[in-house]
């Protein structure tokens, strides 16, 4: 019995040592596992932090993009407003151009009528001048005929330069034996033999 007891103790010690060894090994394994889990947790925390940073960065980008979209909407509204204003101005310009074209056409028509009236008036004036010249020349010819009749009457009747004939006195010496009429409506005055006959219309003068 005494010989067995030391062996039992030895076995017990060996068993205890083995149990302690295995317990320590298990503890080391658990510690290593815990460390690995801690490192993994740290890695996950780091990844989580990075993910949060990315989310925050993306949030900022989204906010920036939202602001950009707001600015883009404002710009689009401004462009649309400018386009509408341009269309209105174009319509106004077209309307003004149409009015200007109508005004120009009216001015040209008025100018044409004015030119036509001016030409007509000039032609009428020229015609009137020619008619006046013709009337004046015919009247002067009548005065020459009257003066010739007076001179013939004075020669045949022995009259002096101071004698004044009557229309009846010189009628025999006139064409058709009648006093001529001024084509301008004037009245003739025979005057003395030494004075040329005259017409009441200014300018109808025997030179």
Q: Check residue 143 and give its pLDDT.
A: 97
Provide the mean pLDDT of the chain: 85
> What is the pLDDT averaged over residues 26-51?
76
Answer yes or no: pTM beyond 0.85. Answer: no
CB atoms within 10 A of CB 45: 10
Q: Give 139-193 pLDDT, tens digit per residue.
A: 999 999 999 999 999 999 999 999 999 999 999 999 999 999 999 999 999 999 9
Q: Check residue 150 and give its pLDDT.
A: 97
Q: Give 92-112 pLDDT, tens digit per residue.
A: 878 888 888 888 898 888 889
Q: Check residue 1 and give its pLDDT.
A: 55
Residue count of the chain: 207
Q: CA–CA distance from 6 to each of 11, 18, 19, 20 (Å)?
A: 8, 18, 19, 20
Q: Check residue 21 and give its pLDDT.
A: 60
Q: Check residue 55 and give its pLDDT.
A: 65
| pLDDT band for position 2 (cuts 50, 70, 90) | low
Q: Give 107-140 pLDDT, tens digit per residue.
A: 888 889 989 999 999 999 999 999 999 999 999 9
Q: Check residue 41 and give its pLDDT.
A: 72
Q: Check residue 125 and give its pLDDT.
A: 92
Instruction: Tell me whether strands 198-199 and 188-189 are parallel, antiparallel or unpaired.
Output: antiparallel
Q: CA–CA distance from 108 to each of 94, 98, 115, 123 (Å)?
A: 20, 15, 10, 22
Q: Check residue 13 and give its pLDDT.
A: 60
Q: Does residue 142 contact residue 162 with C-beta atoms inside 8 Å?
A: no
């Amino acid at each position: 019995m005494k010989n067995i007891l030391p062996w039992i103790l030895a076995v017990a010690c060996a068993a205890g040592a083995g149990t302690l060894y295995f317990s320590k090994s298990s503890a080391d394994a658990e510690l290593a596992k815990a460390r690995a889990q801690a490192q993994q947790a740290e890695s996950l925390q780091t990844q989580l932090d990075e993910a949060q940073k990315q989310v925050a960065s993306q949030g900022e980008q989204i906010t920036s993009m939202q602001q950009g979209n707001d600015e883009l909407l404002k710009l689009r509204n401004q462009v649309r407003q400018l386009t509408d204003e341009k269309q209105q101005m174009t319509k106004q310009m077209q309307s003004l151009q149409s009015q200007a074209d109508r005004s120009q056409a009216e001015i040209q028509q008025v100018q044409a009528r004015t030119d036509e009236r001016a030409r007509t008036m000039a032609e009428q004036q020229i015609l009137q001048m020619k008619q006046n010249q013709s009337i004046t020349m015919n009247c002067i010819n009548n005065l020459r005929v009257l003066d010739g009749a007076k001179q013939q009457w004075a020669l045949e009747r022995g009259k002096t330069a101071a004698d004044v004939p009557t229309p009846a006195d010189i009628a025999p010496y006139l064409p058709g034996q009648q006093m001529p009429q001024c084509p301008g409506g004037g009245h003739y005055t025979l005057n003395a033999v030494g004075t040329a006959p005259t017409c009441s219309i200014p300018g109808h003068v025997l030179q």
